[in-house]
A and B are shown apart, each in its own frame.
Chain A
């Protein structure tokens, strides 16, 4: 008598125990603290924070530790946590022109007001494995000579172009932006909604799409107008107070990509902007986002929309790695009921196929 496979409960218990052991690794080695992760794997923490849509470095570090360093799994943990948090109010728009700058560069100008500030970047490093880092107990590196600038307002490069009428203005709006954490995506998706979705979208996905626009799929001619990274003030305005209060600073990365625009009968030829803003230090994603943002503006600028990066539905429905990874990985679940139907179906069709060809 055959006994069908049982014991899902036990199997899960064993798997989870094994996972816990694997996460910890060799117990002869000291356990990583979340503070160490936050300080020393800070870009991984930032990526998790951005894709997890929760500006909390401590929680992002914890998620990374629990996820064994898997950033997508960590972002998922963080999202599942943030979704349970009560919402106390809405922040005012942050002012990136008033940013405490850690990094600020432009590729369209050799120099510009406020100067080029390289900041803590991998740019221009030689990508050689530094085996010195393998050693433990290294002396702390000396303080950086280029100290964090406490610069005042640094005007955006795009504002400089706008003064000359070369940059199409992005009109400020007081309209309430949509909120993808509360409402499902709706199309047509306005720019505020698109940017919001991409800000927590998957870095790899946006990177590939952005790249595709550079390779002819979307007809982009981009220049980095400006990348800046630093701390911005977050303020809320409680209705009972009637004035804004500062609730803290967060690190953000911003990219303004400058693109050509051929002009139309109504509008003169000028530059247009692609915009990217990401929580934390992640300029690769901010750049990719700005490329895709510009590609998605094709219809409003009267350009033919033929490439994937120009399709709002394609980009927005697939940029979220928590959604993507869940559905791709769900194929691991049993599907044998449907497969059974397929078995019967293909047998029937094959039988007919052979019968029709029988001599």
Chain B
């Protein structure tokens, strides 16, 4: 069971949410434009944060700019609330903003995530903030940012189509099992961040607002609610979400995304839900009728 923890007292000597007001305004302006141009990467003046680049500075800056005193914040990494980076970020915001935190997807107004979309569907008004290591979906094919910017301007995504097709020719299926690129509102090719392809379909026509922050690369982008998001595929090779073909050993779910856990050194393993809140909200197997 998860419950919302009470609001702590914010840290003295820092502005609400850590960032100064001018920086927040700059990030907010970028966020608003990102919402108006779904899937387009908006450059922004990302600042150094007290956490290192690559550990969620983009997501933290977005959350800091969005967060208000009445928000309830949930932070997950790998789907779980108790992973070290999630604990560290949640603690950061409870210190610098004094906001209430929760592990419950349903109770949260803002959810900052790394690598997963919660199993519980979002509702209107909820905001999902993704930490993004590399916002440019074309970077492996075209590392020069000036060039990839042109390709986005022209909506020229032939490079990616060719790459996916070559995967299929070589290994019989698309090679990306996570961070599988999506087309947003039929216009922009977008990186969904390194979420498993299993989560991609959740982005389509989601009732919640999805915001993406890349701190080191200094880009912000967004998918508004109820927006068309399609995983790139081919008619004869439709997109296939990947999931371990097992049931959760704790709650028995056959729908959720599973972590594989090694239980001994003799090849023993089990599968449990990656989304700890989802798993805890379901009756455990022993209690099942």
In whole angstroms, how far apart are the Cα atoms of A80 and B57 in the complex?
11
- Distance between Cα atoms of A11 and B86 in the complex (Å): 13
Residues of A within 8 A of B116 (CB): 337
Q: Is A336 an interface residue (CB 8 A)?
A: yes
A4 to B198, CA, bound (A): 22
On whether the beta carbons of A338 and B258 are closer than 8 Å, the reply is no
Q: Which residues of chain B are near A340, meaning CB under 8 Å?
A: 196, 244, 257-260, 274
Which chain B residue shows the least CB distance to A345? B177
* One of A232-240, A252-260, A274-282, A326-334 at the interface: A326-334
Q: How large is the interface on B (under 10, 10 to 19, 20 to 34, 35 or more residues)?
A: 35 or more
Closest CB-CB distance, B184 to chain A, in whole Å?
21
Q: Which residues between 33 and 83 of chain A lie within 8 Å of chain B, taking CB atoms?
A: 76, 79-80, 82-83
Verify if B28 is at the interface (C-beta below 8 Å from A). no
Q: Could you say which residues of chain A place their CB within 8 Å of the CB of B146?
A: 187-188, 313
Q: Is A31 an interface residue (CB 8 A)?
A: no
Chain A contacts for B83, CB-based, 8 A: 8, 334
Q: Is A323 an interface position by the 8 A CB rule?
A: yes
Minimum CB–CB distance from A327 to chain B (whole Å) comes to: 4
A2, A322, A344, A349: the one within 8 Å of B244 (CB): A344
Contact of A329 with B54 at beta-carbon distance under 8 Å, contacts A8-B86, A323-B216 already known: yes
User: Please, which residues of chain B bring their CB within 8 A of the CB of A338?
Assistant: 115, 177-179, 194, 196
Contact A329 B242 (CB under 8 A): no
B182-235 residues at the A interface, CB under 8 angstroms: 194-198, 216, 218-219
Verify A6–B52 contact, CB threshold 8 A: no
A327 touches B54 (CB 8 A): yes
Inter-chain CA distance A323–B172, complex, in Å, is 37
1/0 per residue B10-21: CB within 8 Å of A? 000011001110
The residue of chain A having its C-beta at the shortest distance from the C-beta of B46 within the complex is A184
Contact of A184 among B43, B51, B78, B86 (CB under 8 A): B43
| B243 CB → nearest A CB, Å | 7
A343 contacts chain B at the CB level, 8 A cutoff: yes
- Report how far A323 CA is from B133 CA in the complex, Å: 11
Do residues A344 and B243 form an inter-chain contact, with CB atoms below 8 A?
A: yes
Indicate which residue in B52, B78, B171, B257 contacts A330 across the interface (CB closer than 8 Å).
B52
Residues of B within 8 A of A326 (CB): 51-55, 57, 216
| A136: interface (CB < 8 Å) | no
B48 touches A83 (CB 8 A): yes
Do the beta carbons of B20 and A335 come within 8 Å of each other?
no
Task: Decide yes or no whether B161 CB sits under 8 A from chain A.
Answer: no
- Beyond A8-B87, A336-B259, whether A327 also contacts B133 by CB under 8 A is yes
Counting CB contacts under 8 A, is A171 at the interface? no
Q: How far is the CB of B28 from chain A (nearest CB, A)?
A: 15
- Enumerate A62-108 residues with CB–CB distance to B below 8 Å: 76, 79-80, 82-84, 86
Q: Closest CB-CB distance, B78 to chain A, in whole Å?
A: 5
Inter-subunit contact B48/A80 (CB<8 Å): yes
A335 to B55, CA, bound (A): 12
A residues less than 8 Å from B179 (CB atoms):
338
Point out the residue from A76, A187, A335, A337 that lies within 8 Å of B52, measured CB to CB: A76
B261 contacts partner chain A, Cβ-Cβ < 8 Å: yes
Interface contact B198-A336, CB-CB below 8 Å? no
- Decide: B261 and A329 in contact? CB cutoff 8 A: no
Interface string of A304-341 (1 = CB under 8 A from B): 00000000010001000011111111100111111011
Contact with B78, one of A82, A328, A334 (Cβ below 8 angstroms) = A334
Query: CB of B49 within 8 A of chain A?
Result: yes
A340-B258, A341-B242 given; A186·B43 CB < 8 A? yes
Ordered by A's residue number, 29 sampled pairs between the chains whose C-beta atoms are within 8 Å are A2-B261, A2-B263, A8-B84, A8-B86, A12-B88, A76-B48, A79-B48, A80-B49, A80-B50, A83-B48, A83-B49, A86-B20, A181-B47, A182-B45, A187-B146, A313-B146, A317-B145, A322-B53, A327-B133, A330-B52, A337-B115, A337-B196, A340-B244, A341-B196, A342-B177, A342-B178, A343-B244, A344-B177, A345-B242
**Besides A4-B272, A341-B177, 5 new A-B residue pairs in contact (Cβ under 8 A), listed by A number:** A2-B270, A84-B20, A181-B45, A326-B54, A336-B260
- Which 5 pairs of residues, A with B, have the shortest CB-CB distance? A326-B53, A330-B54, A326-B52, A184-B218, A327-B54
